[in-house]
Amino acid sequence: MTPQKTIYITVYLLLLIPTLSIALVTRIFSLKVMLLDGFSSNIIFLITCILCAVLYLIFKTSIDSYILPILCKCSKIQLAVAESVTKEVTKPVTKQEANLPSYQVHYDAVAEKKRIEAEETLQRVLDYTMQTMVIYMSEAELDRLCSYITEYSLGDTPCEVSPVSVDSALKSIDLMHFGWNIGKAFGKRRIHTATFIKNVFAHALRDIEVSTIERKMSHTESECRIKLDGEIG
């Protein structure tokens, strides 16, 4: 039996049972109290049924307009809830979800956050590099420098480096400051940053040892074009 048929049967039973009950009480009243004969009591029973039927017809429009829609809506809600619960209960659990402990979920979330932060830091460093070095090297050299910096952000030093050329207007202290600025942004150790700029600016820093670069890269006593900036990252 469909839910719709069940609803209609329920409604009509709710109307039929009170009607018969009222008619039966009226018949008993006519027999016991009014002391009428059986024929008259049956007539009263029929008249009562007819009156109740007339009342039903009067209110039928209201019933169809309000009661049935409400019951149908409730039935649909119950079916939807039942289907939802069934789907939730029978939802297959993947092997990966079953074997994934809570700390792993937290670890993955932290790792994703760090990855996003690293990408944002790299973009800020590249923007700083292009703004700072664009007037001191060609476009091709600047592109290579940005490529090396991207590799450097992922490790201690790029795998292979072909030295880039810079304008002679930049002194060794300028390149050291530049290296310190990007190393600071990436959170690199000074020795790694010194090695990186020694390899990348090999021509300009050919007479300076890595240890000297490491020691002097944050010095400020001499005149320079590129200033120390620890706020890039």
The mean pLDDT value for 163-177 works out to: 94
Q: Say what the pLDDT of residue 1 is.
A: 56
Confidence class of residue 124 from pLDDT cuts 50, 70 and 90? very high
The tens digit of pLDDT for each residue in 125-148 reads: 999 999 999 999 999 999 999 999
Confidence class of residue 110 from pLDDT cuts 50, 70 and 90? confident
Tokens 């009243």 belong to: 29
Confidence class of residue 89 from pLDDT cuts 50, 70 and 90? very low
End-to-end CA distance of the chain: 70
d(C-alpha 31, C-alpha 26), whole Å: 9
Answer whether residue 96 shows pLDDT above 90.
no
Answer whether residue 88 shows pLDDT above 50.
no
Amino acid at 82: A
Q: Say what the pLDDT of residue 83 is.
A: 62
HEC sequence for 124-165: HHHHHHHHHHCCCCCHHHHHHHHHHHHHHHHCCCCCCCCCCC
Q: Say what the pLDDT of residue 207 is.
A: 92
